[in-house]
Amino acid sequence: MELSVMLGLLGQGLVMSIEIFARTLLGSLPLGVFIALARMSRFAPLAWLARIYISFMRGTPLMLQLMALMFGPYYLFGISLGTSWKMWACGIGFILNYAAYFAEIYRSGIQSIPRGQWEAAEILGYSKSQTFRYIILPQVFKRVLPAMGNEIITLVKDTSLAFVLGIMEMFTQAKAIAASQVSMLPYVIAAAIYWGFSIVVEYILHRVEKKMDYYHD
């Protein structure tokens, strides 16, 4: 197989990997906020439910969660959802898993904000929702961005787990090419592309962090 053809196939896989990456962030970042608030709720049943959810999602392998979503409906309920379900299972699995990690990061950020800021906003006439949206949340994002960045970089590599659902992301493409060509070169190229992808994401996160630095020169 010519190198150009190999790169073209890996490029197609990279597009799918980027799609999984983007969908996961778009879904898990906002969902994590709601889970964090539920985890901190004074309504005990809701707080315990959120705690159990976070514990389960962080305590079981993402690969197992993806497989459960893909095959569970059929083996548990006899429902056949067709091949198109694998993209839904992938998206839902990644979002639910990463939302649990982001929720704990958000929670630590929210709890790091001094209680006095809530009280000052109340005196100024802000409602609790306005205080959280306009005063607390912007500070939380700034404080948790480094920790969020670590999880986001991990997500770049975790997109390869979609192979268990038969989704042709970059790792699956590399594995298929390597098997057909009996060569390690596709894996080497895929590793270089993952690394480059991570560097780009890391650079973007660094730029965002610098932009949110209130004390930059």
CATH 3.20.20.150 fits 3-211, yes or no: no
Query: Is-contact 95 20, C-beta < 8 A?
Result: no
CB 148 within 8 A of CB 140: no
Specify the DSSP element, H or E, that contains 14.
helix 3-39
Provide the token pair at 37.
């608030």
Extents of the domains making up the chain: 3-211
Closest listed residue to residue 165, CA positions, set 91, 215, 103: 91
- Say how far apart CA 119 and CA 184 lie, in whole Å: 61
- Spatial separation of the C-alpha atoms in residues 132 and 156, rounded to whole Å: 30
Give the predicted TM-score (pTM) of the model: 0.89
What's the pLDDT tens digit per position in 158-197?
999 999 998 999 999 999 999 988 889 999 999 999 999 9
43: which 2 tokens?
């309504």
Asked whether 149 and 209 are in contact (CB, 8 A), the reply is yes
Give the pLDDT band of residue 214 (cuts 50, 70, 90): low
Q: Model confidence over 118-156: pLDDT tens digits?
A: 788 888 888 888 888 888 888 888 888 888 999 999 999
Q: Which helix (H) or strand (E) covers residue 198, if one does?
A: helix 185-211
- Any idea what the Cα angle at residue 174 is, between residues 169 and 176, rounded to 5°? 95
